RNA sequence: GCCGAAGUGGCGGAACUGGUAGACGCGCUCGACUCAAACUCGAGUGGAUAAAACCGUGCGGGUUCGAGUCCCGCCUUCGGCACCA
């Protein structure tokens, strides 16, 4: 704060956002106000990242809801003294642009996805400028640019060399509408639909490229030192699905058959085995007389989709394959069955069935009349002979040879003494070992589409899949392609792309025509913002060391598993390639909710409930729209748009404007108590607003600023505005408004006689001593109910407070003919008198 | 079924480590300005009541001088996972 009162040239003009917003956007642009010098180490760095959008060509209210508060938070940090990097770019590969091209092809027109995408990017950059955000566009990243996707290919080759990228044939999820395979993560919901178009997926047996994310399963479960919402951590943890247990080997005539179990302690109760119908041992083990029956069952299973299986409920089906395995601890021969409730993709695709302890095995045993042996005794009151369902609770091991008498305490893995004892026994006997499995599958990255990163792989008759040499990168996506009305990738019919030579032998070879999942692009893009045009490496090690990891990352919850898990995986891979020395990309994560239409439904053209931000800006101005979006409620909750609700922030900015630009009319003297109260209000607001910004509570920050404006309006007079206290209040108010409403605050800053941008000012700090009130109001309770209020000085003694409390007229009524048995004084808050009548 | 989050006025939502429930805003009511309306400004606004007593944070208990907040048992909504061995 300056120590002289500035002359304000009052002029009675109304707040007109349409005049001031374009004016300041232009000035900021010209002065490169938001361009960040990445090599400026004079201030601590802060990397504030918000998820880059797909260039749909139209900035909608959801983008505003995501970006405006993120911008405010980044601006706040800049005023707090950080060198803040707040970049923006475009997730430019993907289906919408390609589908538009295919659609055009059906009409006989030629619309190239690249042309369309870049046009839409131009339009969105312009729309973004309306928002008044401090994006540093000099660092923009566009993922469909060969400069960018070249490095996707580079990373792919590095991973291929390390065995982290591999190709395998297996049943995969296929979206018939998007005409491509999907990663497991992109198949969602009970009805297994495509994440982007909600079409039910089908299974196809295809040879596809994968990233070995499962190698990092254990590390991905570790969220130590990450300030992430529990919800997201929970979702990823569920998805990875860690199970601790043991692998046990059973002897069969086809050789050793390994099963995974979380309950090795119940091995003595394993009375049969079940294999997945696809298990490789099935053909070998099936006896001659069972061949036909087994073949039929396998065929039925294959024909059934997952939805069919679900629709049939959980009624167990299966067939005995005419073979036996030896239970390694009891020595008994137990029958081997196949059933579709055992999945080939999990564990070893084979289970030991313990009908006593597992509900599925129990149902199977009941249906097919198989033995049930009790192995855990819960307590004396349970009749083991009269089971109607499996028992998986705690108890004492029985009928279990060497582990008889061990306690199963109901905990998972080795936390249960019985499980630990069983694993020890298996390992000592050499028949099994402790093991952990994960539900997580490897990331399928092949897509049968055009508009994505080509794989740097060629197929040679002699050498198989061969990596394209690094010096030949990028493998450019050809632009002279014809889109098939069928939706099939044009790469398949593009001769000069398809036909090439083998890098090893020089003979004719063909290129891989699939392209990479676009989640590849977003798995490392934040590094590229640091050096978007670097030609010799994907990232700059020096800059990455200084700027990464990202300090705060914001975006929608819909990426909780997909993008955020892939990005974590990729960061660990890049670390293991030796390019960086950290393994987590985003230190702090905050998710915004979804902004809904006024009818509380998702905004969609078909519902007709879309709120268009361009219209809002032309009606209210960007600052008001920003303020309202932040004021609407907690950011992570989202909620419905309310066209009446925006009136609140509209009036608030209008009142702030008049408070500062209108000459005072009242004549109240600027006496000491008034000024002290004014100062208290200002400093209290600074404290609260600061805390709220730290905690991403934009709604309450704005409420505090409204309170401050109301308080200042009340105390405003010709005399008061002449004081330093008033000026300090005005400056603090404008500064605190700056991150939220950057245009009006810049204008008010100028009009109050300041030079230079408010956005280069530092955040106000508060004085603890200014927060102290002279006197405080205390509630007087009698038996916990408020019966009166007293006003006492801040330093009043406990006795004085009690004296005042008891003589308060309404309180005194209650005290008549009553005995006070307890007196509780909470300083600054209340007095509670406990009486007995 | 397992795991997680949340239930507060007519509405969006506040409430720090248990301490005056409903900040701030919308809406509504009354008033001023205006020929009138809009804007703006001022006053009021949880319910019930003439007023006090009283009733109020999903429901039922409990702990405490005092519970939206802590404990036990439920209900509802939302999200994730699920024939995962």
pTM over 0.90: yes
What's the rounded mean pLDDT across residues A66-74?
Answer: 97
CB A236 within 8 A of CB A562: no
Separation in Å: B76 C1' and A262 CA: 35
pLDDT of residue A313: 58
| Subset of residues 409-468 in chain A with CB less than 7 angstroms from any atom in strand B | 437, 439
End-to-end CA distance of chain A: 58
pLDDT of residue A817: 80
| Subset of residues 56-115 in chain A with CB less than 7 angstroms from any atom in strand B | none
- Of A50-59, A234-243, A371-380, A394-403, which gets the smallest average pLDDT? A371-380
pLDDT of residue A310: 56
- Of A384-388, A466-470, A537-541, A708-712, which gets the smallest average pLDDT? A384-388
B83 nearest neighbour residue (CA to C1') = A341
Helix, strand, coil in percent for chain A, rounding step 5: 40, 20, 40
- Quote the tokens at residue A655: 């009142």
Reported as a single tens digit per residue, the pLDDT across A784-817 is 888 888 888 888 888 888 888 888 888 888 888 8
A632 touches strand B (CB under 7 A): yes
**Residue A541 and residue A457: Cα distance in Å, rounded?**
27
A446 three-state secondary structure: strand
Separation in Å: B35 C1' and A669 CA: 38
Rounded-to-10 torsion of CA A260, A261, A266, A268: -10
Q: Please, which positions of strand B sit below 7 A from a protein CB?
A: 3-5, 11-15, 19-21, 23-27, 39-42, 53-54, 65-67, 79-85
- ipTM score for this prediction: 0.95
Rounded-to-10 torsion of CA A163, A174, A240, A529: 70
CB A57 within 8 A of CB A124: yes
What's the rounded mean pLDDT across residues A635-646?
Answer: 92
A345 three-state secondary structure: coil
Q: Is the pLDDT of residue A382 over 60?
A: no
pLDDT of residue A641: 93
Separation in Å: B3 C1' and A548 CA: 33
**Range list of H helices, A662-738:** 672-694, 698-715, 724-737
Residue for token pair 């008049």: A658
Separation in Å: B38 C1' and A647 CA: 14
More confident residue, A408 or A386: A408
Q: Is the pLDDT of residue A514 over 60?
A: yes
pLDDT of residue A778: 87
Q: Is the pLDDT of residue A681 over 50?
A: yes
pLDDT of residue A11: 59
β-pair type (A775-782, A785-793): antiparallel
A301 touches strand B (CB under 7 A): no
Separation in Å: B65 C1' and A813 CA: 19
Query: How much is the CA Rg of chain A, to the nearest whole Å?
Result: 34
pLDDT of residue A670: 87
Using C1' positions and the CA of A779, the closest nucleotide is B20
CA-closest candidate to residue A158, choices A532, A500, A574: A574
How many Cβ atoms from other residues are within 10 Å of residue A674's Cβ? 18
Reported as a single tens digit per residue, the pLDDT across A73-88 is 999 999 999 999 999 9
Q: Please, what sign has the CA dihedral across residues A93, A97, A103, A109? A: negative
Q: How confident is the model at residue A221 (pLDDT cuts 50, 70, 90)?
A: very high
Q: How confident is the model at residue A730 (pLDDT cuts 50, 70, 90)?
A: very high
Q: How confident is the model at residue A374 (pLDDT cuts 50, 70, 90)?
A: very high
Q: Is the pLDDT of residue A1 over 50?
A: no
Phi then psi dihedrals of residue A180, to 5 deg = -160, 165
- Quote the tokens at residue A515: 């392209």
- Quote the tokens at residue A166: 């591999």
| Subset of residues 205-264 in chain A with CB less than 7 angstroms from any atom in strand B | 230-231, 234-235, 238-239, 241, 243, 245, 260-263
Percentage of chain A beyond pLDDT 90 is 76
Strands (E), A164-318: 165-175, 180-182, 187-188, 193-194, 202-211, 242-252, 255-261, 272-275
Reported as a single tens digit per residue, the pLDDT across A230-239 is 999 999 999 9
CA-closest candidate to residue A516, choices A444, A452, A562: A452
Geometric angle at alpha carbon A587, from A582 and A593, rounded to 5°: 145
| Subset of residues 521-540 in chain A with CB less than 7 angstroms from any atom in strand B | none
Q: Which distant-in-sequence residues (6+ apart) come within 8 Å of A824 by Cβ?
A: A831, A832, A833, A834
CA-closest candidate to residue A17, choices A618, A614, A500: A618
Separation in Å: B16 C1' and A68 CA: 27
Q: Is the peptide bond before A593 cis (omega within 30 degrees of 0)?
A: no
More confident residue, A664 or A21: A21
A833 three-state secondary structure: strand
Reported as a single tens digit per residue, the pLDDT across A231-290 is 999 999 999 999 999 999 999 998 999 999 999 999 999 999 999 998 999 999 999 999
pLDDT of residue A305: 60
CB A197 within 8 A of CB A467: no
Q: In the predicted model, what is the mean pLDDT of chain A?
A: 92
Using C1' positions and the CA of A638, the closest nucleotide is B12
Q: Which residues pair with A175 in a beta bridge?
A: A180
CB A229 within 8 A of CB A636: yes
pLDDT of residue A377: 87
């Amino acid at each position: 704060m300056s120590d002289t009162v500035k002359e304000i040239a009052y002029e009675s003009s109304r707040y007109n956002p349409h005049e001031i917003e374009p004016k300041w956007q232009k000035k900021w642009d010209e002065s490169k106000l938001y361009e960040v010098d990445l090599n400026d180490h004079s201030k601590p760095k802060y990397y504030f990242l918000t998820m880059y959008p797909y260039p749909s060509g139209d900035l909608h209210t959801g983008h505003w809801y995501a970006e405006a508060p993120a911008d405010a938070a980044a601006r706040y940090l800049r005023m707090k003294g950080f060198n803040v990097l707040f970049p923006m770019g475009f997730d430019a590969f993907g289906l919408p642009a390609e589908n538009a091209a295919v659609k055009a092809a059906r009409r006989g027109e030629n619309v190239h996805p690249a042309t369309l995408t870049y046009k839409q990017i131009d339009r969105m950059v312009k729309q973004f400028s309306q928002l008044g955000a401090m994006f540093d566009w000099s660092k923009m990243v566009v993922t469909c640019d060969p400069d960018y996707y070249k490095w996707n290919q580079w990373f792919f080759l590095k991973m291929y060399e390390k065995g982290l990228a591999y190709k395998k044939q297996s049943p995969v999820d296929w979206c018939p509408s998007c005409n491509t395979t999907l990663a497991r993560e992109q198949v969602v919901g009970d009805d297994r639909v495509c994440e982007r178009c909600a079409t039910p997926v089908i299974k196809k047996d295809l040879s596809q490229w994968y990233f070995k994310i499962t190698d990092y399963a254990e590390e991905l479960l570790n969220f130590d030192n990450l300030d992430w919402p529990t919800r997201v951590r929970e979702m990823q943890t569920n998805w990875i699905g860690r199970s601790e247990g043991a692998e046990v080997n059973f002897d069969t005539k086809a050789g050793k058959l390994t099963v995974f179990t979380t309950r090795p302690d119940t091995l003595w109760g394993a009375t049969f085995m079940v294999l997945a119908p696809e298990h490789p041992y099935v053909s070998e083990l099936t006896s001659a007389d069972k061949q036909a029956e087994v073949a039929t069952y396998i065929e039925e299973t294959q024909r059934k989709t997952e939805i069919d299986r679900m629709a049939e409920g959980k009624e167990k089906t299966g067939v005995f394959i005419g073979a036996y395995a030896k239970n390694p601890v009891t020595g008994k021969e137990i029958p081997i069955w196949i059933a579709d409730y055992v999945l080939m993709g999990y564990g070893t695709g084979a289970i030991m069935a313990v009908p006593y302890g597992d509900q599925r095995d129990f149902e199977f045993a009941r249906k097919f009349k198989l033995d049930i042996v009790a192995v855990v005794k819960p307590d004396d009151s349970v009749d083991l002979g009269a089971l109607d369902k499996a028992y998986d609770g705690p108890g004492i091991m029985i009928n279990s040879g060497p582990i008889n008498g061990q306690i199963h305490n109901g905990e998972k893995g080795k936390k249960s003494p019985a499980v630990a004892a069983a694993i020890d026994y298996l390992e000592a006997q050499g028949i099994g070992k402790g093991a952990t499995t994960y539900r997580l599958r490897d990331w399928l990255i092949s897509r049968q589409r055009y508009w994505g990163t080509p794989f740097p792989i060629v197929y040679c008759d002699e050498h198989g899949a061969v990596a394209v040499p690094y010096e030949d990168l990028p493998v450019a996506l050809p632009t002279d392609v014809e889109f098939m009305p069928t939706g099939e990738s044009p790469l398949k019919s593009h001769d000069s792309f398809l036909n090439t030579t083998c890098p090893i032998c020089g003979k004719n070879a063909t290129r891989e025509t699939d392209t990479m999942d676009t989640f590849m692009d977003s798995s490392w893009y934040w590094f590229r913002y640091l050096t978007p045009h670097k030609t010799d490496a994907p990232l700059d090690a020096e800059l990455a060391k200084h700027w990464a990891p990202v300090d705060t990352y914001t975006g929608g919850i819909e990426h909780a598993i997909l993008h955020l898990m892939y990005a974590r995986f990729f960061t660990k891979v890049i670390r293991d390639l030796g390019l960086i020395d950290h393994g987590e990309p985003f230190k702090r994560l905050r998710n915004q909710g979804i902004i809904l239409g006024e009818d509380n439904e998702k905004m969609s053209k078909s519902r007709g409930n879309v709120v268009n931000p361009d219209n809002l800006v032309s009606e209210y101005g960007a600052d008001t729209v920003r303020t309202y979006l932040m004021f609407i409620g907690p950011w992570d909750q989202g909620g419905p748009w309310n066209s009446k609700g925006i009136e609140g922030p509209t009036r608030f900015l209008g009142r702030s404007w008049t408070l500062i630009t209108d000459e005072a009319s009242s004549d109240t003297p600027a006496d000491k108590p008034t000024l002290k109260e004014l100062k208290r209000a200002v400093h209290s607001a600074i404290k609260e607003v600061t805390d709220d910004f730290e905690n991403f509570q934009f709604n309450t920050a704005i409420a505090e600023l409204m309170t401050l404006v109301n308080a200042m309006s009340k105390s405003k007079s010709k005399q008061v505005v002449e004081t330093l206290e008033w000026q300090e209040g005005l400056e603090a108010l404008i500064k605190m408004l700056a991150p939220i409403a950057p245009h009006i605050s810049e204008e008010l800053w100028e009009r109050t006689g300041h030079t230079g941008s408010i956005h280069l000012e530092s955040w106000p700090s508060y004085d603890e001593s200014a927060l102290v009130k002279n006197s405080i109001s205390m509630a007087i309770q009698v038996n916990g109910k408020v019966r009166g209020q007293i006003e006492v000085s801040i330093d009043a003694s406990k006795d004085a407070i009690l004296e005042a409390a008891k003589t308060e007229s309404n309180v005194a009524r209650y005290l008549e003919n009553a005995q006070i048995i307890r007196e509780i004084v909470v300083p600054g808050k209340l007095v509670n008198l406990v009486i007995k009548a």
